Amino acid sequence: MKIPKAIQRLIESFEKLPGIGPKSAQRLTFYLLHVPQHELDSFASSLQDLKKGTIICSNCFNVDESDPCSICSDKQRDRSIICVVEEPLDVLALEKGGKYKGLYHVLHGKIDPLNNIGPDEIFLPQLFERISAASANGYGDPKELIIATNPTMEGEATAMYISKNLKSQIPNLKITRIGRGLPIGADIEYADEMTLQRAMEGRNEII
């Protein structure tokens, strides 16, 4: 059976998404064939507006509708604490807990040599520059850097790289690692609110 080109193109597009295999891509495509046209038009419009309606914050690199983002521009946030996470989804997960009131820095990835991702391929240089600039401006902030990368081999390697670089540059900066509550191999975005709260409360200083 020859598959129509429109169907084949959509299947191939779905297959490019993370976690979507060939069979899942086919199921999604044929499901959409039964969806009313106005819903498909709305779906397509949302996809087109995804990039147009968002912007990356020039300060923390979180995704928002404005620059600086709503968190960086919130004067009620504790500017003496910065939490480093891998992805914008991690910010959403931590914000759901409602306990953390500091700022963020989103790396948009982690150091992963096997996939040719080094420190310069993510927003690590910008983190070091941000910390150094804040330390040199005379205001004494930030006082603590929480490293909340995922507890995977790559996440741990990224955490150690950050700690090693900043400890040598800014000895007085307190660097902590997100603590108990997150099992090895788990992703922050999938953790429940209580687990994340305990992990934040149980963070440990990196020596």
On average, the pLDDT of the chain sits at 89
**Mean pLDDT calculated for residue range 144-152:** 91
**Mean pLDDT calculated for residue range 17-33:** 94
Task: Calculate helix-pair angle for 153-169, 124-136, nearest 10 degrees.
Answer: 30
Q: How confident is the model at residue 110 (pLDDT cuts 50, 70, 90)?
A: very high
3-state secondary structure of 7: helix
Please name the CATH architecture into which domain 5-52 falls. Orthogonal Bundle (1.10)
Question: What integer pLDDT is reported at residue 181 of this predicted model?
Answer: 64
Please check whether the domain covering 75-205 is classified as CATH 3.30.70.1450: no
Same fold? 5-52, 75-205: no
- What b/e sequence results for 138-175 when a residue is b if at least 16 CB atoms lie within 10 Å of its CB, and e otherwise? eeebbebbbbbbbbbebbbebbebbbebbeeebeebeb
Cβ neighbour number for residue 183 with a 10 Å cutoff: 9
pTM for the model stands at: 0.79
pLDDT of 79 > 80? The answer is: yes
Which range, 42-46, 96-100, 183-187, is most confident? 42-46
Domain ranges of the chain: 5-52, 75-205
Span between the terminal Cα atoms of the chain, in Å: 63
